[in-house]
Each structure stands twice: as structure tokens, then as C-alpha cells.
Amino acid sequence: MKSTIPDNGVPITPAAGNGGDRQEASLHGEILLRLRDYVVEGNIPEGGRIPERQLCEMLGISRTPLREALKVLAAEGLIELLPNRGARVRQLSQRDLEELFDVMAGLESLAGRLACEAISDAEITAIEQLHYEMYGHYLHRDMHGYFQANQRIHESIVAAARNETLKTAYANFAGRIRRVRYSANFARKRQRWAEAMREHEAILDALRRRAGSELSDILFQHLRNKRTAALEHLTEPQEPAPAAP
């Protein structure tokens, strides 16, 4: 299958949109979503303290709902709560990243194999729609939208595996590497973003054919490639992402 993904282009991250008035539960979800995106997209450095006052002003909320959202991010592994000293972004060592990506590769590989045994036609159609949505974000260099659709694809495959133990384990580890999984798309030693899109074309093709063994291998290698890109990005001189033209 010939890929249609171009190699050129630099990821660009747009600012997240503002949420409107919501009921309390919806408002909590909106705060959590925006705060998670803010951390994942690298607006606070690795190991950096969470600027609670600044975030409250940015989100237009008080300290109480912010701290409730921070507790969720701590449970996901994105941040660390410091006793009587606020919170900071969790900093992962190279060894941490290697181990976490290997575990995630194993979990997604198993999910792909099981999903091919149980997935419905409707679920495949929904994943196809997410894939084309993600491709549209890729073409527009919208890293924020691309990453959201990308994560929903991976989560949908895990959900289609029909294994709650696997789903719980996946959610636990996914949160811990969500931030570095996002930043890996900026690795400059190779065109990782285009490479990831081509891998997703292969993922979708194998899923359509319900080729469990093949999909398992593709997903395992996909995570291994992401690990390599993440480690490359970790050792690269860091520069701000360019502004949109």
C-alpha cells in the first residue's frame, strides 16, 4: 500500500480554545482537559513547578477546582503533588522512558491482537473516521488536533480488545508518557510526524483485514519507533516551536 503522507513540514501547536458555561461536572471535565493539554504540550518544563495562580487566572477559576484537576493529573502520572509545596511536572529519566515505552508497546501489541478477534464493523468505521480526522490535522500542521485524534485511535483499539484488565493497565501507563509521546513528534533527526502517519495507515489497513498477528507487530514497532523519537528529542537542543504562518 503506497503512502500518501508527505515528508516535509514542521508541527505547529495552536492555542486551546475557551470552554463556555457548563454544568459542574462538565466544567470540571473542561478544566481537566485544558489543564492536561497545557501540561502535555510542554508549556511547563520537565520538573517545573505548577504555577497555580497563573493557571487560575488563565482558566478563570479558583484554587479549589484547579487542585481537584491536579489530583487527577497526579493519578495519571503527569505531575507530582508535593506535600505543602504545590505540584510539579513529573520528570522521567531516559531509563524510565525506555521501560515505560516497552511496557506500552507490549500492551498495545496485545490489544491489537485481541481487538482483531472482537472488533465490530461499526468500531472499525469509527476508527477510520478518526484516522481521516487525524490526517486532516496533519495536513494543516495542527499538532493539538492531531494528537487528540491519535490518542482516541489508540484508546479505541484498546477498548475493542474487550479486556478490562488490559484497559486499566493501559490507562495507568498511558498517562505517564502522554507528555513525551506528544513531544516525540517534534524530533528533528528524522521526519517523525510523517513516519507516524504512515505507520497509522498500516495500522488501519491491518485492522480492516482483522489481521491480528500483523497488527500486533505493527503496533509494537510503532511504539518502539515512538520511543526512539522521544529519546532523540530528549537529547536535542530545545527550541521553541515556530509560530503559524
Contact 70, 78 (CB under 8 A): no
13 confidence band (pLDDT: 50, 70, 90): very low
Position 12 scores a pLDDT of 32
The DSSP secondary-structure symbol of 161 reads T
Position 238 scores a pLDDT of 54
Average confidence (pLDDT) over 216-221:
98
Position 24 scores a pLDDT of 64
The DSSP secondary structure of 75-142, one letter per residue, reads HHTSEEE-TTS-EEE----HHHHHHHHHHHHHHHHHHHHHHHHH--HHHHHHHHHHHHHHHHHHHTTB
Condensed to tens digits (0 to 9), the pLDDT of residues 35-92 reads 999 999 999 998 999 999 999 999 999 999 999 999 999 998 899 999 888 999 999 8
pLDDT at residue 23 above 70?
Answer: no
User: Coil, helix or strand for 12?
Assistant: strand
The DSSP secondary structure of 182-228, one letter per residue, reads HHGGG-TTTTHHHHHHHHHHHHHHHHHTT-HHHHHHHHHHHHHHHHH
> Using alpha carbons only, what angle is made at residue 165 by residues 164 and 171, rounded to the nearest 5 degrees?
85
Condensed to tens digits (0 to 9), the pLDDT of residues 194-208 reads 899 999 999 999 999
Position 239 scores a pLDDT of 54
14 confidence band (pLDDT: 50, 70, 90): very low
Q: What percent of the chain has pLDDT over 70?
A: 85
- C-alpha to C-alpha distance for 196 and 134, rounded to whole angstroms: 11
242 confidence band (pLDDT: 50, 70, 90): very low
11 confidence band (pLDDT: 50, 70, 90): very low
For residue 29, CA distances in Å to 32, 33, 80, 135 come to 5, 6, 20, 26
How many other CB atoms are there within 10 angstroms of residue 85's CB atom? 8
For residue 156, CA distances in Å to 46, 112, 124, 130 come to 29, 10, 9, 10
Q: What percent of the chain has pLDDT over 90?
A: 67
Q: What share of the chain is helix, strand, coil (3-state, %, to 5)?
A: 65, 5, 30
- C-alpha to C-alpha distance for 112 and 108, rounded to whole angstroms: 6
241 confidence band (pLDDT: 50, 70, 90): very low
pLDDT at residue 119 above 80?
Answer: yes
Average confidence (pLDDT) over 223-241:
78
pLDDT at residue 212 above 80?
Answer: yes
Position 103 scores a pLDDT of 96
